[in-house]
Amino acid sequence: MTIRSTGGRVAAFAWFAFAVLNLLDLAFNITGKGDPHYTVTTGTIAALLLLGCALAYVLGIRPAIVGDDDAGVLIRNPLRDVRVPWRAVREIEGTHAVTVRFAGPDGAEVKARAWVHQTSPRAQAKAEARARRDEAHAKVPTAKLKGRTPALYAAQRLNEIRERNRPKTRSGAPDKAAAARTAEEASPARGAVTWSVPALTSLVVPLLMLVALGVASVLD
């Protein structure tokens, strides 16, 4: 299961198309006359377009929530990744945003919030009010309606996968249950938060280009 922001991806691809057309125009002078002229100004415009592409990638393309039966849950935020095996997950909530509480590398509890499907408190209140109105006209349990925001729906789907992968303890197999508990105590599952090298690189490169071009313009 992979959850992304459709609006963010559409906006990002629209910027990519805009940037590619402008870069081609800068490189080949498509809309002008004569041969292209490469100046510091041209390079600065190209670097700004590339920086915009980096922001589109980091904010629109990269963010996602991935739930995998084997690997656990992965939260890709603009600059950091959160990887948590299901055994390390303590709680998954969906209110104003999808949040995951899990055991960190040192065993302490860590709370990670997903960039995807963030909802303002006002939108959350509207969703709850709409759910109460729907409940008044339909025989549907409140638990299925209240606060039905994208964040809550995503959290529900993740919790379903988590329940499927929860170790089952049967009364007729106490030895297997005890072995599962012993294995968990011997090698406890831990989540990890890491920086995304591709995301950081995509931002740093055009910024360095802008700095270099700025120095060149001063020295010129």
> pLDDT per residue over 116-132, tens digit each?
988 776 766 666 666 66
190: pLDDT confidence band, cut at 50, 70 and 90?
Answer: very high
Task: Judge contact between 44 and 210, C-beta under 8 A.
Answer: yes
Token pair 């393309």 is at which residue? Answer: 61
Mean pLDDT of 193-208: 97
pLDDT at 184 over 70: no
pLDDT for residue 143: 45
Mean pLDDT of 187-202: 94
pLDDT at 183 over 80: no
pLDDT at 141 over 60: no
Min mean pLDDT across 8-12, 88-92, 173-177 is at 173-177
Mean pLDDT of 47-69: 97
Q: How far apart are CA 40 and CA 217, in angstroms?
A: 7
Task: Judge contact between 69 and 1, C-beta under 8 A.
Answer: no
209: pLDDT confidence band, cut at 50, 70 and 90?
Answer: very high
What are residue 189's phi and psi, to 5 degrees?
-75, 145
Q: CA triplet 30, 31, 35: central angle to 5 degrees?
A: 55
Mean pLDDT of 175-181: 57
> pLDDT per residue over 79-95, tens digit each?
999 999 999 999 999 98
